[in-house]
Structure 1
Amino acid sequence: MKKRGNLEILEERRRKGQKRMSEITSIAKKWEDMETDVLVKIFKELNMIELAPVSQVCRLWRSACSDPLLWNTLDLGLLKSNFIQTRASPFIWVDERSDRKLSKLLRIAMALSHGNITCLIFHFNLYMKDDHLSYIAERCPHLKRLVMPAWNRITKTGISLAIRRWKELESLTMPSIAHPPYIMEEISRNCKNFSSLKIMGNFDVHFASTIASYLPNLKTLSLRCSILTKEALLFILDCMDHLEILNVSHCFLLESLSTVGRKQIIKEMDCAILEKARKLHEFHYCMSTSCVTCQRMISDEGLMRWYRYEEWFWRQDEVGSLALGGDYGRLFDEGCLNLGFRN
């Protein structure tokens, strides 16, 4: 009798266990039955390269991938071109597979975003063409912030036509601009709310005077990791009355000597410059021999070769509104100093 009783107890527990599992199974939802808002929260953690194949799984997932909450920012910062530097214009050769991959991702992103993108970020070492830029400009009419890639293959006409479409543009990050007047003029004519500019390249008096002429109301300017002349820096401080934030951290700062054509590297920030900068809300500079970024600028002779370094390195900026995330603390741990001041 005792043995029989134990068997009955075991059988009853088994039945209860099966019933409980059946109840749990009936409550749990399959992926394809999940509510859209839950899927959106999950998909928000994915980058565009991961999101592209997810959007093609089923109709429900594609609908979730089209939610406007996912498309305020399109960050293609993980996408780079396979390229080789050349001696002939445009001084770069790009593998056709890179172009095809970019075109495919752009088609998917533009189809899913429905014109809701306001911030667009490209990797510095992505080499797009006019066709890519035109395709984006047509489908992102409300763009407010743009982080441009290297634009060896983008023509004067291509960038000008794109800027004319971006009436709401407020912030632009660009690699080196050899002939800045036409771009600044297009921004002045078409982007009435423009207030923030970041340049990563050469910045001389000609460039400074161009900005002062066409963008006199500019509030934020970052020249981080650029070749900067002392004359250009003084010009900006003297003539840009509405400028509030200036970043010249890790710049290759040069001063013209009396001898024609000769320039010398300035290793310490001039007291006169610091005094003029007192009128700014924020002034950032770093010229430390122990700074990793300053050392890299010297090694690269002022023209930073971003492809040599960490993936996140080009995304950084001492100005919070221009930073694009990344492991910035590591640079501080390795000796990067953020000097300057905030008023």
Structure 2
Amino acid sequence: MGENKWMGKRWEDMDTDVLVKIFKELNLVELSPVSQVCRLWRLACSDPLIWGTLDFGLLKSNFIQTRASPYIWVDDRSDKRLAKILRVAMAISCRNVNCLIFHYNLYMKDEHLHFISERSPHLKRLVMPAWNRITKVGICQAIQRWEELESLTMPTIGHPPYIMEEIARNCKNFTELKIMGSFDVQFASAISQNLPKLKVLSLRCSKVTIDALVSLLNSMEYLEALNISHCLLLEAAVNERRQVVHELDDQTLDKASRLREFHYCQSRSCIACQRMMVDEGIMRWYRYEDWFWRQDEVRSLDLQDYGKLFDVDCERLTSVD
């Protein structure tokens, strides 16, 4: 009898869709060598189904707070680690990343942002890290490249108009914004003037002035969803001091009720509301569970789980000793 020969497909001859299903179970560290096996595997490793969302929510900088601008010092090894991870991710993804999520305690620089924006031209959603080391020029140049951007989650910033202006000029499909920090009349005005067709706005766990909230409700004709859950609400300043508002007045509630979605919580029994009071309106996210900052009552803004690409094992394998 002749020898039985295996007639199945070789790995390098497998259908791309089968390879993609397999490679979706790998993290970034595991994908890197796999992508170098052959041309077919490289193509499968770069598939949009794998790279639609690149969640770096577990990636943080080693830093120390300082008194001088930019108010933090970052370990050089953290910067090198970030640069290396970004190089690998952007090389394999082949411009297929649609959603990028960064931890709020990741302190990237302009050069990192520039590298990312050049290699993710089809980005639709961005969850920004801390601003401290990102300049006005850096973020504006990045936004200019992200013409398809639809959603932005950002820490609060001292002078927001220029970012809203840049989004208005370049991102024609932009409809969704989440702000983490402080929200005042200046911020509200920047949004209403530059993003009048904004549909979704979340101010969850932020310090919000009542006059800013009223301004939004009066001016944002296309707004469909607003989240002010667990916010520290402050009334108009009297003698340069603002008092905490524990309940919205009926007129404001009536205007908000006309929205498709309005999320509002100021319950003394709510843990998130209690944390906002303890932190005096500026949430100290680092004090709490690492998933806490990722939550949102608006479903499209909730970050859910971390995904596979940069999971706990990947974070450990790329950590700085």
**TM-score, structure 1 length as denominator?**
0.82
Counterpart-to-counterpart distance in 1, 2:126 and 2:69: 25
Structure 2 matches for 1:108-147, cutoff 5 A?
A: 108-147=88-127
- 2:266 matched to which residue of 1? 287
Given the alignment, which residue of 198, 203, 221 partners 1:241?
Answer: 221
- What per-residue deviation string (whole Å, max 9, x for no partner) do you get for residues 57-86 of structure 1? 733654432223211111111111111111
Compared CA separation, residues 54 and 35, structure 1 to 2 (3 A): farther
Instruction: Decide which of 174, 178, 188 is 1:208's aligned counterpart.
Output: 188
Counterpart check, 1:91 vs 2:71: yes
Q: How many angstroms apart in 2 are the aligned matches of 1:96 and 1:271?
A: 53
Shift of 1:35: 5.4
User: CA separation of 1:286/1:326 partners in 2, compared to 1, >3 Å: closer, same or farther?
Assistant: farther
Secondary structure at the residue paired with 1:172? Answer: strand
How far residue 133 of structure 1 moved from its aligned partner, in angstroms, is: 0.3
Deviations along 1:148-189, one digit per CA (max 9) or x if unpaired, are 111110000000111111111111100111100100000111
Q: Which amino acid aligns with 2:273?
A: C
State the distance in 1 between where 2:236 and 2:26 align.
Answer: 49
Matches within 5 A, 1:163-182: 163-182=143-162
Corresponding residue for 2:277? 298
Tell me, what secondary structure is at the counterpart of 2:118?
helix
Shift of 1:223: 0.4
Q: Distance in 2 between matches of 1:110 and 1:166?
A: 15
CA distance in 2, matches of 1:194, 1:101: 32
1:271 is matched with which residue: 221, 238, 250?
250
- Larger % of helix: which? 1
Q: 2: distance between equivalents of 1:72 and 1:159?
A: 22
Deviation, structure 1 residue 46: 3.8
- Aligned pairs for 1:1-343 (under 5 A) are 36-48=16-28, 50-55=29-34, 58-59=37-38, 61-257=41-237, 259-326=238-305
Letter paired with 1:254: L
Q: Distance in 1 between matches of 2:66 and 2:26?
A: 35
Q: What are structure 2's unaligned runs of at least 5 residues?
A: 307-321
Q: Secondary structure, in 3 states, of the residue corresponding to 1:253?
A: strand
* Deviation >6 Å, runs of 4+: 27-34
User: What one-letter code is carried by the residue in structure 1 that aligns with 2:254?
Assistant: E
Give the residue type in structure 1 aligned to 2:196: P
Consecutive unaligned residues of structure 1, counting only runs of 5 or more, are 1-21, 328-343
Change (3 A) 1:288 1:54: farther
1:4-24 superposed Cα distances (whole Å, 9 cap, x missing partner): xxxxxxxxxxxxxxxxxx98x
1:203-262 deviations in Å (ceiling 9; x for gaps): 0011101111111111100001111001100110111111110000010111125x3201
- After superposing the two structures, state which structure 1 stretch, 191-200 or 71-80, moved more: 71-80
Contact 2:224 2:260 in 1 (8 A): yes
- Count of residue correspondences: 303
CA contact (8 A) 1:316 1:326 kept: no
Question: What's the CA shift for 1:45?
Answer: 3.2
Q: Percent identity?
A: 66
Alignment check: 8 A CA contact 1:269 1:287 kept: no
Whole-angstrom distance in 1 between the partners of 2:22 and 2:104: 28
- Of stretches 165-174 and 248-257 in structure 1, the one that deviates more from structure 2 is 248-257
Q: For the structure 1 residues 306 and 213, does the alpha-carbon distance in structure 2 shift closer, same or farther, using more than 3 Å as the test? A: same
CA contact (8 A) 2:35 2:92 kept: no
Distance 1:114 1:183 in 2: 27
Find the aligned partners of 2:31 and 2:104 in 1 and give their Cα distance. Answer: 21
Normalising by structure 2, report the TM-score. Answer: 0.88
Q: Within 2, Cα distance between the matches of 1:180 and 1:114?
A: 32
Q: Which is higher, the Rg of structure 1 or of structure 2? A: 1
Letter in 2 for 1:181: P
* Structure with more relative contact order (C-alpha pairs < 8 Å, separation 6 or more): 2
Tell me the distance in 1 between the aligned counterparts of 2:132 and 2:30.
Answer: 28
